[in-house]
Structure 1
Amino acid sequence: MIPESRSTPRPSRKGQFTGRHITIILVAFFGVVIAVNVLMARFAVSTFGGLVVENSYVASQHFNTWLAEADREKALGWKASLERNGAGAFQTRLVDSAGKPIASAKVRLFAEHPLGRKPPVNIALVEGAPGTYSGALPEGRWYVRVLVKAEGRSWRTAGEVK
């Protein structure tokens, strides 16, 4: 005869919080934290090129002068388009407050790569049509500053060119 085996039934684990649950929760939590940190670090490195001013104290001493210059330039009412022409070169069209082209000006372009991966470019732009100035600018994304000297006045503008 076969002896009867007595086994006690296992208690049901349904609805119990186990070590497996806490492991899943901890891995998910730290996975999200690490993913967000990596994403934020990537955005920080790819969008900010670094130094804004060499010495903030010295810059603060010139702040009011810079504001006065900006007010004088704004009062001129000049406008510029910053773009690439069909040949890939940089082109700007300058107009005065009445919308007339600003001809016979001396125009310089200062271009910096946003992340500093390419060396800065300093170009004297050449006038093609009246009020339209162009020059060779390497391919890529650039932050450009344009300095215009015309009619005995100076005027600046800046922007991004892709």
Structure 2
Amino acid sequence: MGAKPPFRFTGRHMAIIMVAFFGVVIAVNVYMASLATSTFSGVVVKNAYDASQEFNVWLDEAAKEKALGWSAKVERRADGRVAVTLKGSDAAAIPSDAALSGEAWHPLGQEADRVVSFRRQADGSFVSFDALPAGRWRLRLRLDGADANGRHVWRAQEFL
């Protein structure tokens, strides 16, 4: 029996390694890009520079809203209408004259954006006039109300 010839690394071996390596890289990139486009539910701005100039203003508004201590519990009722129960911290009850409004957007524009109007109920909660179609919705709420400390605007984003 003859001795086995030593292994020789050839151009064919290098070509197989290169094709396998870049094949894996491309497959992973395609998979990640498809996940990103199918699950993205963020907000796209028309001009990122202009939006960045407003960032500090948004932070200041958010700090004021957080200091109010208000929170919301949002749920979809069986009839498709949206019910919102608002709570204030011990020191900051929800003003009795508060008005709630909102906008609903569907991720990736699968449904048209909608303005959501609310009616205050006897128990202090709010219920939308119209039903939202089934599916996942991002709801941006705005509560305007005044108390002894002046007029306040509170915003929240919820998912349904």
> Could you state the TM-score of these two structures normalised by the residue count of structure 1?
0.73
Secondary structure, counterpart of 1:54 in structure 2: coil
Match of 2:101 in 1: 108
Point out the more displaced range, 141-150 or 37-46: 37-46
Verify the 8 A CA contact 2:42 2:107 in the aligned structure 1.
Answer: no
* In structure 2, C-alpha distance between the alignment counterparts of 1:101 and 1:68, rounded to whole Å: 21
Deviation, 1:122, is: 0.5
Question: What is the CA-CA distance between 1:96 and the residue it aligns to?
Answer: 1.0
Cα distance in 1 for partners of 2:42, 2:101 equals 24
| Contact 1:73 1:156 survives alignment (8 Å) | yes
Find the counterpart in structure 2 of residue 134 from structure 1. Answer: 127
Q: CA RMSD in A?
A: 3.2
CA deviations on 1:94-142 (whole Å, 9 max, x unpaired) are: 1111285654421112111111111101011112243311222121101
Aligned to 2:139: 144
Kept after mapping to 2: 8 A contact 1:107/1:133? yes
- Whether the aligned pair in 1 keeps the contact of 2:70 and 2:94 (CA below 8 Å) is no
Deviation at 1:35, TM superposition (A): 4.2
Larger radius of gyration: 1
Q: Deviations over 1:2-36 (max 9, x none)?
A: xxxxxxxxxx9xxxxxxxx99x9888767655543
What is the percent sequence identity of the aligned residues?
Answer: 45
**Corresponding position: 1:47 with 2:39:** yes
Equivalent residue of 2:108, what SS?
coil
SS of structure 2 residue aligned to 1:115: helix
* Structure 2 counterpart of 1:123, one-letter code: V
Equivalent position of 1:7 in the other structure: none
Q: What is the aligned residue count?
A: 153
> Which stretch shifts more, 82-91 or 117-126?
82-91
1:125 matched to 2:136? The reply is no
Q: Secondary structure at the match of 2:78?
A: coil
Normalised by the length of structure 2, the TM-score is 0.73
Q: Which letter does structure 1 place at the counterpart of 2:152?
A: R
Unaligned runs of 5+ in 2: 5-12
